[in-house]
A and B are shown apart, each in its own frame.
Chain A
């Protein structure tokens, strides 16, 4: 299905430049259904299957122009939002299509080898780990749970701007100012703790239905919107049979909590990107 030549950078048929092998994912051979194959990265050859030594694993690979994937070229391309989006979507499309053939271990975006032979040797070295991960994710999917809180704008500290200058000579002004500052700090703390509690509850509710969980740093308000802080950004590895339970459980937690308006978003099923690390250092 794909070039299986073992060798050194080849010459592409179209551009005439050296080609490299991009590996998207690894999966078992002999699934009930053949993995579907999508076009992959622009400018590359057809996406195909590379059998790995041992016969029971195969990699989803594509020949891509090496010049597009040098460190320099990547810095340029991934610095361009449109190009980064294009790369990420192409990568995701290949991996999700391949998952039609069974559980997959997705490899990170732009995992490249100078030749397919090098790719298959590197993957063969990690064979045990790959098989473990495949066993772990078989029949399971990743579900993402995010929680946002609609924050009712705290009463604006009306005199805020003027405080430091407020009647410096008047007795008690300094103490009153400090008391206000302390009060605001207390409110802020209380709100913060309430947010953490909500995030914790949703996380626990989801985790009860999952076999593994990953909690990421919530995204900031620059992206979510000023009055809509994200308090939970988590991913769960879930047995397919329990997915609807997880969804129902976390959605039930949306709504009002101690004065906070909680929005729960669930998305999935995803290929288990967050649970398939092969644990390699670069």
Chain B
């Protein structure tokens, strides 16, 4: 959460360690990335019900740790 609408900087590619990215923002993007290309072993994150379940657990923990803006229903 940032004060007053500041740009939230994430540590860019140069840092190689984007640990500064707020988790909620990260999941908003990473888990919303299109649909899985047809990998031939496992198609993971497009399995929406699976991920939704996980997200509820994760989001609950996020909101406890940092009161951060995030989802009821997850980004999917």
Contact = CB atoms under 8 A, between A and B. Distances in A.
Task: Determine chain B's interface SS by DSSP, over half rule.
Answer: loop
A110 B21 contact: no
A96 B20 CA distance: 13
A219 B62 CA distance: 13
Interface residues on B, range: 35 or more
B38 to A, nearest CB: 6
Given A74-B42, A93-B17, A265-B69, A251 B5 contact: yes
A92 interface: yes
A233 B38 contact: no
A123 to B, nearest CB: 7
Interface in B1-54: 2, 4-10, 12-14, 16-19, 21-47, 50-51, 53-54
Contact of B34 (A78, A97, A250, A279): A279
B69 A273 contact: no
Interface of A: 20, 23, 36, 38, 66, 69-71, 74-75, 78-81, 84-85, 88-89, 91-93, 96-100, 106-114, 118-119, 122-123, 126, 142, 144, 146, 148, 216-217, 219-225, 228, 230, 233, 235, 247, 250-251, 254, 263-271, 273-274, 276-282
Given A36-B16, A88-B23, A263-B4, 8 more contacts: A89-B18, A89-B19, A96-B13, A98-B13, A223-B59, A223-B70, A251-B5, A274-B32
